[in-house]
Structure 1
């Protein structure tokens, strides 16, 4: 596929940009009043407090070298710096340049563009991460012709209060012609200090080692009992495609979707990234036709179509229950902590009773 990246860098018609950004939702183009309110709090209030201190101490502490007082007042400079950074970011978002360019890129390459959407009900692990308190997707590009393809940037928040954590993933979702077992490829190329960056930890007994040097680039997880199916799906030539084209992308096969994940953004204004991503998608799309022939022999040959699609007399297309989802790694630390707490409390009660009656 030839990728037209000119709209990502071409000179912008300011009149068309002005007309386009008027159509952007407030989630993408924040209101000016809301921006100024935050800036006033972060910039004006600390500066006013600092000015008050200067009046009280008559500005003489600089001359006297009272660096301890300077160290106390130094944190007051941090909020204004943060406010300036947020103001610059908000002004760039209000300009509408990014969505305008991505919209032009989408039109030039047969996609539709949506700047913002609530998180879609997709079965991928970044969309179903446990404990999500909020989630949304930005810069969504979709293509329906040929094989269905969706590319976007997913943001989710877990926890609340001070324990809030935000995760950002770029993703590409390809619709498969047939439902496949739940298989995950953890790319070593985007891990941190050897630790997986996957949003979900899978049980280690589901790891499958493949031939050649594939294990240098990916760790493959498949449901127990589906090892032969994984070997069929990831034939040597298929493994070569993943190593050559997707070595820095985590991969997930779940239901009738193939997901590519990147810890950051995939829908960007980077022309080179788009060329690499769409070349990867095109290379992987050739595997889809081969995977269409896969069948799960564990499903009973029946005309009952529950959980599958009837393909003909006595044939059902789908995945048996045990192959639909990988087992998640159990976290036993909280169990150990609770056991130690109970043990300590029991000893405390025992000591109190013993001391009372001794």
Structure 2
């Protein structure tokens, strides 16, 4: 197990052996290092377009069809064309940096130095977390993982939903920690990373599943648990654990589902910043120690009737591990605003078509 006290972050910042980097770069997949021509042609287009448009403007000016004094405020129309070379340079620098393989090389060496695995790009495994079940196409970038009893993975998830004008890309940094036992579905929506219009999480939950806790916890998190599992949530989130969550992950959304604990961030968590890695792995160390007591939790709803009567006489008999069906997933809230918008849109088109038919037929 990688402990923060023994964490070696030097590969993230130390001087790079250029020969070793070139050798490593040859093995990178095409998604990370596409062919050079495919990478630079957009920049070439941005370089050619201003030349074409400015040449056209010059011909117009030479032709005399423009006023005698074409400059002044009217010259502002040329600014977008002059901005294209700037965009070309930004795109070219960004492309070269992405193809350099420096980020992947450093993270790979960092992972090896700390007994971890690394993969620059991967299709996410079937994890039960909210951000993994949105649909669309997902890819995990800079995946760092640890096997063993306390399995751990840290990566940056990119999910693309829709296509064309409806295409939307969602990005998260996440930490996935394997728990020793399956637990009820519990979500801690961090208040600090929500916007004024909606929470950061991709789904919302019914308000009757919101559990109010004592102290300052509600100022940092909105806790949701399945109906009927309020007592179980209080057992799991004792005051000392609540204090730990406030101290360590107050800006992250937390989800407990099945035998996994997830931390979600709007920013990358697999990064070249040594301070981020020190913080992430220290959080993992703290949570691993604190949630060890969760291993003792059992769902009494799994007890058959005869076992419950036996447990009354023999208190040492415990129900099996697992979670009853009603506690495995939170109930999601249906967003009605888009249905209302769709209905209004259909009604609007109906009025337009009706008016058009009447105008044509004279009716």
Which TM-score tier does this pair reach, normalised by the shorter chain?
A: 0.7 to 0.9
Whole-Å separation in 2 of the counterparts to 1:127 and 1:103: 24
Whole-Å separation in 1 of the counterparts to 2:59 and 2:154: 56
Aligned to 1:127: 132
1:184-263 mapped onto 2 (5 Å cutoff): 184-193=187-196, 195-263=198-266
Change (3 A) 1:94 1:335: closer
How many angstroms does 1:342 deviate by?
7.2
Please, which of 3, 7, 18 is the counterpart of residue 7 of structure 2?
A: 3
Paired residue total? 343
Kindly provide the CA deviation profile for residues 250-298 of structure 1, in whole angstroms up to 9, marking residues without a partner as x: 1000111000110020000111111111111100001232111111111
Aligned to 1:52: 56
Change (3 A) 1:33 1:340: closer
How many angstroms does 1:215 deviate by?
0.6
Secondary structure of the residue aligned to 2:262 is: strand
Whole-Å separation in 2 of the counterparts to 1:236 and 1:314: 25
1:60-75 mapped onto 2 (5 Å cutoff): 64-67=69-72, 69-75=74-80
Change (3 A) 1:343 1:53: closer
Whole-Å separation in 2 of the counterparts to 1:241 and 1:63: 73
Aligned to 1:136: 139
How does the TM-score come out when normalised to structure 1?
0.87
Cα RMSD (Å): 2.9
Whole-Å separation in 2 of the counterparts to 1:82 and 1:222: 48
Unaligned runs of 5+ in 1: 304-312
8 A Cα contact 1:302 1:316, kept in partner:
no
1:283-322 mapped onto 2 (5 Å cutoff): 283-301=286-304, 315-322=319-326
Aligned to 2:327: 323
Aligned to 1:274: 277
Whole-Å separation in 2 of the counterparts to 1:63 and 1:317: 86
Q: Considering fraction of residues, name the structure with more helix.
A: 2
Secondary structure of the residue aligned to 1:317 is: coil
Change (3 A) 1:294 1:62: farther
How does the TM-score come out when normalised to structure 2?
0.86
Aligned to 1:25: 29
Kindly provide the CA deviation profile for residues 208-264 of structure 1, in whole angstroms up to 9, marking residues without a partner as x: 111111111111111111111111110111101101111111100011100011002
Unaligned runs of 5+ in 2: 307-316
Aligned to 2:182: 179
Whole-Å separation in 2 of the counterparts to 1:113 and 1:86: 28
Aligned to 2:116: 111
Aligned to 2:309: none
Whole-Å separation in 1 of the counterparts to 2:137 and 2:90: 24
Aligned to 2:311: none
